[in-house]
Amino acid sequence: MSQLSNERIKGEVGVTTTDEGESLFKIMANTAPVLLWIAGPDGRCTFFNDPWLAFTGRTMEQEVGVGWAEGIHPDDFQGTMNAYLEHFVARRGFKLEYRLRRADGEYRWILDTGVPRHAADGTFAGYIGSCIDVSERKLAEDTLRRSEAKVRAILEAAGDGILTLDERGVVETANRAAERLFGWPADELVGISIERLVPELGSGQRLDIATVATGIAHETVGRTPEGAVIPVEVVLSSVEWPRIVTAVVRDVRERQLLERQMQEANEELRRRVGQDLHDGVGQQLTAVAFMAKNLANDLPPAYAPNGARLVEIANDAIGQVRRLARGLVPFDVGERHPATMFQDLATSCHAAFGVSCSFDCDETAANLDQTVTTQLYLIAQEAVSNAVKHGQATEVKMKLAKSGERTSFVITDNGKGIQAPSTRPESHGVGLASMKYRARMIGGTITTKPQQPRGTVVECAWWDVGRLV
């Protein structure tokens, strides 16, 4: 066996070697930490080192020629042999991966690397190759592939749009829900800036991806390729290194429509109850007060104080009912122009609180429907009240303006101000939560921030409802 190996080594090296050289080659081949093989110009293998023979559990005589191929997994055999012979004919180096049967009967993944070899005179002498066991790597790759497939399946099945962004805000991946939501073709969605999809989300925008709080739902709008806008809710999360931002985008059109219908139904109920209080209970109490007054006039002098007290109680009840009615129906929009309503609010604010209050309006922004006007009026009432009572402001300014498809109603004051910008739903108590809720009724958002050198800015912004998808 040793003599046979020496003759094979001698012949395959292709030169006349000394006994010392043969011994050195044999030592190197048989102690190498890889499986080595040598093939002649006809493609038939003529030598395998000891690690190969130990791995397969076969003899040199069994492996030489094409005997080695008997250990290839049946599912890999044809493809491996075709690739092997194809490269042999072209005399190109190759790397093949296939399963080879080990001595214990288990098939292991092998990375087989072969390179052409030439004799001293340059003639093609065959190939020499090495193999390493890559089963663990293949297992890890397969596990990762299955995990990625599972994650992808979950993402594709999700009802919300899910986008991943790089640190510049460029879309790297998007699921099918995102494609359906924004209406962008899949091949165009990846690689574009998030600002083209969500104008307020991006570097330097209201929802700056570098600073906005993660895990918090932010209501804004998305944009389709045609320029139409969609009310959406965005939740951001991030991985610090590498910097990856995930944006979960939910279509809130149906929810906003339902909230708006509920709010309109609630406002209608309030109007009806307020009207019933005023026209029903109020009129009856008025009749009671009139009768009590007549009765008090007919009472003997000894009972006159009781009669007067009865009239006083009746009049107090009338006043309470009227106040309740006004609270339920604070104003009637009717056919009044929005600018007139807000100007009246400024006038009443000055009269009630003694502060300077003004209203300014762009003509293009004044064309508001009744629902929008109602909600803005209630937002303005809350903001002005907060500025005066809590902020101790002496000046309040209201401005209604439009820029493109975006309309904003801004209330600024010179009061104590707030400590930090707020877009969080729970910030600054019930008042801000109420304003945010009313803003949602018109597809808008509320933002509060400090004003320099002092004061607060409250902005309600929304997109042209005529452009909503």
The predicted-structure confidence for 235-260, as pLDDT tens digits, reads as follows: 888 776 667 888 899 998 888 788 77
What homologous superfamily is domain 2-139 in, according to CATH?
PAS domain (3.30.450.20)
Check residue 45 and give its pLDDT.
95
- Could you tell me which of 137, 120, 118, 117 has the C-alpha nearest to residue 36? 117
Check residue 184 and give its pLDDT.
86
DSSP lists the bridge partners of residue 401 as: 408
More confident residue, 305 or 98: 98
CA dist., res. 391 & res. 458, Å (int): 13
CA dist., res. 23 & res. 390, Å (int): 96
Q: Could you tell me if 293 and 318 are in contact, meaning their C-beta atoms sit under 8 angstroms apart?
A: no
Mean pLDDT score, 348-352:
84
C-alpha distances (whole Å) from 170 to each of 156, 208, 218 are 20, 13, 19
Q: Could you tell me if 139 and 131 are in contact, meaning their C-beta atoms sit under 8 angstroms apart?
A: no
Q: Is the pLDDT of residue 430 over 90?
A: no
CATH class entry, domain 338-467: alpha beta
* Range 223-226, long-range pairs (CB < 8 A, 24+ positions): 223/182, 223/196, 223/197, 223/198, 223/199, 224/182, 224/183, 224/184, 224/469, 225/182, 225/183, 225/184, 225/188, 226/183
Task: State which fold the 158-251 domain adopts.
Answer: Beta-Lactamase (3.30.450)
More confident residue, 129 or 435: 129
Check residue 462 and give its pLDDT.
82
* pLDDT-derived band at 209, boundaries 50, 70, 90: low
Q: Encode pLDDT of 262-309 as tens digits.
A: 877 887 887 788 778 877 887 888 888 888 888 888 888 888 888 888
CA angle 382, 387, 390 (to 5 degrees): 100
Q: Encode pLDDT of 75-96 as tens digits.
A: 999 999 999 999 999 999 999 9
Mean pLDDT score, 44-50:
94
Check residue 38 and give its pLDDT.
94
Q: Where are the domains of the chain?
A: 2-139, 158-251, 255-328, 338-467
145 contact partners, CB below 8 Å, separation of at least 6: none
Q: Is the pLDDT of residue 73 over 50?
A: yes
Mean pLDDT score, 90-106:
95
Tokens of 245: 């931002």
Mean pLDDT score, 371-377:
84
- Could you tell me which of 197, 208, 187 has the C-alpha nearest to residue 232? 197
Most distant CA atoms of the chain, gap in Å: 149
Q: Encode pLDDT of 132-167 as tens digits.
A: 999 999 999 999 999 988 988 888 888 899 998 887
Helix (H) or strand (E) holding 383: helix 370-389
Least confident stretch, 319-323, 374-378, 396-400, 461-465:
461-465
For the chain, report the end-to-end CA distance as a whole number of angstroms. Answer: 83
* pLDDT-derived band at 118, boundaries 50, 70, 90: very high
Give the range with max mean pLDDT: 208-212, 342-346, 365-369: 342-346
Identify the three-state secondary structure at position 14. coil
Mean pLDDT score, 316-339:
74
Burial of 201 (0-12, 13-18, 19+ CB in 10 A): buried
Check residue 13 and give its pLDDT.
47
Residue reference for tokens 């190109």: 92
Least confident stretch, 13-17, 213-217, 320-324, 386-390:
13-17
CA dist., res. 23 & res. 11, Å (int): 14
Q: Is the pLDDT of residue 468 over 60?
A: no
Check residue 349 and give its pLDDT.
86
* pLDDT-derived band at 421, boundaries 50, 70, 90: very low
Q: Could you tell me if 134 and 109 are in contact, meaning their C-beta atoms sit under 8 angstroms apart?
A: yes
Asked whether the domain spanning 158-251 has the same topology as the one spanning 2-139, the reply is yes
Tokens of 96: 């093949």
Average pLDDT of the chain? 83
CA dist., res. 88 & res. 65, Å (int): 14
More confident residue, 123 or 256: 123
Identify the three-state secondary structure at position 69. helix
Mean pLDDT score, 26-50:
91
Identify the three-state secondary structure at position 178. helix
CA dist., res. 308 & res. 319, Å (int): 17
To the nearest 10 degrees (0 to 180), the angle between helices 19-31 and 2-13 is: 100
DSSP 337-370: -HHHHHHHHHHHHHHHH--EEEEEE-GGG----H
